[in-house]
Amino acid sequence: MTHPISPLAPARFPDLPAIAGLEAAIGRAGFYKHERPDLLLMRMPEGTRAAGVFTTNAVGSAPTDWCKQALSATRGGARALLVNAGCANSFTGPAGDAACKRALESACAHIGVETREILAASTGVIGVLLDDAKIARAMPDLSLHPVNWFDAASAIMTTDTFPKGSGATCEIDGVTVNIAGIAKGSGMIAPNMATMLAFVFTDAALSAPILKTLLKAESETSFNAITVDGDRSTNDCVLLFATGQAKVPPIADAHDPRLAAFREALSGVLRDLAIQIVRDGEGATKLVRVIVDGAASDASAKIIARTISESPLVKTAIAGEDANWGRIVAAAGRSDQPLKREMLSVRFGDLYAARDGMVSPDYDEAAMSAYMKRDELEITVTVGPGAGRAVMWTCDLTKRYVEINGDYRS
């Protein structure tokens, strides 16, 4: 089933930089009833290093289990990536593990890499065993070429309404390096690592430990700072690959000052991809930035921000263009985090709805109603005198979300 493009979608898919040494093939295994690509196979050069962050959902999935084991066994080495859409291969037991391995073996035989060097990702319906024979049959028709980022991003979509990509160019110690990434996600989004996949590539020569440190830190303010529906998926993962084709001088520490520009660029790419997922939230008509400050700590602020961002009452009020600040303070209050009621303030953009624990004396209903009609909103909640601060991105909750998820398997 195809869905109308989100009203919050970017105007166009961006022009992403080429990543030296990277190739891709797009194909169709037939996991969907309608004609569409559902396979992405990528090959990297020898010496490529990789790192990943994965869902904290206790159920997990065969591909996420495979990736964790493979990255550990190879100490972050990777030569290939196989992604399928249409079947999550989660909650499928030992049979799912075996199907995942067979699918990867067929891909590796086709492109000439060892099975231990390939990573896997799947997205789609949970509880359905992967029919790996479909992937094996599709392999002969897959031909590797320089990456077409639009096609690669399109191949991994499920209920997404637009392909998601982001890129950047920066320097490491005077050497120009490129970063390019794609992502998919629309519903079941509440990362602590949602159904959400992201694959980011750079031509920099960086070690797996450095990649892991950077990815884990920058995911906290990007993929782990978004929510669509509060439902954490079984298959979420973000994988970061470094092909090593840009000969960066040796760097041994992720905190080396020479990585400052790269870290900033990587952070921007990850955040852009994450926010695009929220822009494509199932049924979404509003993109909302929720800021919490004055908290006891950054961690406390993040819990409060997530509680507000995932409140069905808050999200439906936003869908109705109603600045119902009472629902926001109620959500903050039930977050079980320390706050000072007499200091609670709620601001929509520059307009105060509540200030110092009560309705703002300059509250203007007409101005507030006009503000709520915007496609993009900012809500700032001050909860006390502390230094803790956090930012989350969310969207509204509309009838369309119910329709999409009610019809998902049919």
Residue 331 lies in a domain: yes
Q: Is the pLDDT of residue 192 over 50?
A: no
d(CA 319, CA 290): 15
Instruction: Say whether 5 sits in a helix, a strand or coil.
Output: coil
Residue 2 lies in a domain: no
Beta strands in 55-117 (DSSP E): 80-87
Mean pLDDT calculated for residue range 261-281: 96
Residue 11 lies in a domain: no
Average pLDDT, the chain: 93
Q: Is the pLDDT of residue 48 over 60?
A: yes
User: How many CB atoms within 10 Å of residue 230?
Assistant: 18
Same domain, 90 and 221: yes
Same domain, 259 and 304: no
Q: Which of 347, 97, 380, 53 is nearest to 214 (CA)?
A: 53
Lowest mean pLDDT, pick from 9-18, 192-201, 392-401: 192-201
Domain containing 253 — which CATH number?
Answer: 3.60.70.12
Same domain, 158 and 307: no
Q: Is the pLDDT of residue 191 over 70?
A: no
Q: Is the pLDDT of residue 390 over 60?
A: yes
d(CA 395, CA 5): 15
User: Would you say 246 and 201 are in contact if contact means Cβ atoms under 8 Å apart?
Assistant: no
Looking at the whole model, is its pTM more than 0.75?
yes
When divided into structural domains, the chain yields a total of: 2
From 279, 298, 323, give the residue that closes a domain: 279
Residue 4 lies in a domain: no
Quote the tokens at residue 290. Answer: 């929720």
Residue 3 lies in a domain: no
Q: Which pLDDT band holds residue 82 (cuts at 50, 70, 90)?
A: very high
Taking CA atoms, 162 is separated from 151, 157, 333, in Å, by 11, 8, 36
Same domain, 269 and 313: no
Same domain, 216 and 84: yes
In sequence order, the 6+-apart residues with CB closer than 8 A to the CB of 68 are 52, 54
From 212, 246, 279, give the residue that closes a domain: 279
Q: At what angle do helices 93-111 and 62-73 cross, to 10 degrees?
A: 60
Same domain, 336 and 243: no
What is the tens place of the pLDDT at every residue in 307-354? 999 999 999 999 999 999 999 999 999 999 999 999 999 999 999 999
- Amino acid type, 129: L
Mean pLDDT calculated for residue range 301-310: 96
Taking CA atoms, 279 is separated from 39, 56, 398, 401, in Å, by 24, 23, 14, 13
Lowest mean pLDDT, pick from 75-89, 186-200, 366-380: 186-200
Residue 13 lies in a domain: no
What is the tens place of the pLDDT at every residue in 144-190? 999 999 999 999 998 899 999 999 999 999 999 999 999 998 755 44
Domain containing 341 — which CATH number?
Answer: 3.10.20.340
**In terms of pLDDT, which residue wins out, 60 or 45?**
45
Q: Which member of 55, 92, 195, 394 is catalytic? A: 195
Per-residue pLDDT, 244: 97
User: Would you say 356 and 382 are in contact if contact means Cβ atoms under 8 Å apart?
Assistant: no
Q: Which pLDDT band holds residue 58 (cuts at 50, 70, 90)?
A: confident
Same domain, 128 and 179: yes
d(CA 53, CA 168): 21
Same domain, 59 and 152: yes
Per-residue pLDDT, 13: 98
d(CA 6, CA 376): 13
Lowest mean pLDDT, pick from 55-64, 231-240, 270-279, 400-409: 400-409
Same domain, 248 and 330: no
d(CA 58, CA 67): 16
The label of the residue with tokens 């970017």 reads 10
From 279, 295, 316, give the residue that closes a domain: 279
Residue 10 lies in a domain: no
Same domain, 99 and 161: yes
For residue 306, give the H/E element and its range.
helix 298-309
Mean pLDDT calculated for residue range 125-144: 95
Range(s) of the domain holding residue 241 = 23-279
- Percent with pLDDT over 70 in the chain: 95
Give catalytic status of residue 195 as yes or no.
yes
Residue 42 lies in a domain: yes
Same domain, 87 and 148: yes
Same domain, 274 and 313: no
